[in-house]
Amino acid sequence: MPRVHHVKAARKANPVAAVCESYYHWSFRFGGKRYSKTPPLSSQLTQSSFKQGWRQVEEMLNAATADTIDGLEEIITAAIEQLQEISDEAAESFEAMGEGLQQSQNGQNMEERQSQCDEWINELENIEKDFDYDQAIEDEICDLDPEDDDYDDERAQAEAKADDDLESYLESALDEARDANPGEPE
């Protein structure tokens, strides 16, 4: 992994910063110098396309917030699609190797990458993504008669509680998605 340098005030202009502006830079052994106004993400600090994809999924899940069940489903679906893509790339790389190379450490690493992706995909697919908002409200006010004087107040309280329950449910589902990561393979 490259060493990241933080420059507090540029002495001369570069692709991301003018003179006296702060920036970050890093370089790889066989690659040019990279610049950024913000600290680099871990996906930017590798040249491996597999590790970039894996880390991008991690970064996406860590930054994700959902306000609705549909939003949660979109986040999880996007993560699954990206993991499936990098799993397919690992499988293609493994198939492109000669039979002797498939038995080598590199071949075993490719198989491990593919199985780790598949494991993470299965964990993400098993996350429960259903919360019945209307049913949560009905459960709270089922004993009330719509003709009661307190019905409107009780319904408003039930809706507020359902909002809190939904928010809590979405956050726990996102936490479950983040925790489903089996760990980055070699």
Per-residue pLDDT tens for 147-159? Answer: 777 878 888 888 8
Residues 104 and 146 in one domain: no
This prediction has a pTM of: 0.82
DSSP label at residue 125:
H
Per-residue pLDDT tens for 13-41? Answer: 999 999 999 999 999 888 888 999 999 99
Give buried/exposed letters for 42-62 (b at 16+ CB in 10 A, else e).
Answer: ebbbeeeebbbbbbbbbeebe
Residues 28 and 81 in one domain: no
- Tokens matching residue 186: 């070699």
Structural domain including 10 reads 1-40
Residues 84 and 99 in one domain: yes
Q: What integer pLDDT is reported at residue 150 of this predicted model?
A: 80
- Tokens matching residue 36: 């950024």
Residues 78 and 120 in one domain: yes
Q: Which of 19-23, 101-105, 136-140, 146-150 has the highest mean pLDDT?
A: 19-23
Q: How far is 72 from 174, CA to CA, in rounded Å? A: 7
Residue 66 CB contacts under 8 Å (≥ 6 apart), including other chains:
72, 74, 75, 170, 173, 174
